[in-house]
């Protein structure tokens, strides 16, 4: 399975600057985030080499969450070469996630 990179306020901008990247904004206490985690992890393995998968804990990196207007979690942000291309708020299933990833590519 592909590694899912853990981002912080300091590493976020560099991580999304190039290529296709999906960032999961989450919190450890968030039940819907935990429900969606297996689908995110499976998709990371399936899209290895095509899309970079990353997670950002909103409790640890509030500045980045606020700068990206993340008001509810989980929120997935889809970037292509530093540009925000798509956003999904709320837990989604693997099929829906794959649809968004395919559109990103």
Q: What was the pLDDT predicted at 1?
A: 45
* pTM score, whole prediction: 0.95
Strands ordered across the beta sheet of 5-7: 5-7, 52-57, 20-26, 75-80, 83-89
* Residues identified as active-site: 30, 33
**5-104 has which fold?**
Glutaredoxin (3.40.30)
Q: What is the pLDDT of residues 17-75, one digit of tens each?
A: 999 999 999 999 999 999 999 999 999 999 999 999 999 999 999 999 999 999 999 99
Would you state the pLDDT for residue 87? Answer: 97
Residue with the bigger pLDDT between 2 and 19: it is 19
Residue 27 DSSP class: -
Q: How far is CA 83 from the centre of its chain?
A: 14
Give the pLDDT band of residue 2 (cuts 50, 70, 90): low
What pLDDT is attached to residue 61? 97
User: What pLDDT does 3 receive?
Assistant: 87
């Amino acid at each position: 399975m592909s590694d899912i990179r853990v981002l912080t306020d300091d590493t976020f901008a560099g991580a999304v600057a190039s290529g296709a990247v999906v960032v999961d904004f989450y919190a450890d206490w968030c039940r819907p985030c935990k429900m969606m985690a297996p689908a995110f992890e499976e998709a990371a393995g399936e899209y290895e080499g095509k899309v970079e998968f990353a997670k950002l804990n909103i409790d640890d990196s509030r500045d980045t969450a606020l700068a990206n207007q993340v008001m509810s979690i989980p929120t997935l942000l889809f970037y292509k070469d530093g540009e925000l291309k798509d956003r999904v708020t709320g837990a989604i299933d693997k099929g829906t996630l794959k649809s968004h990833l395919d559109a990103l590519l």
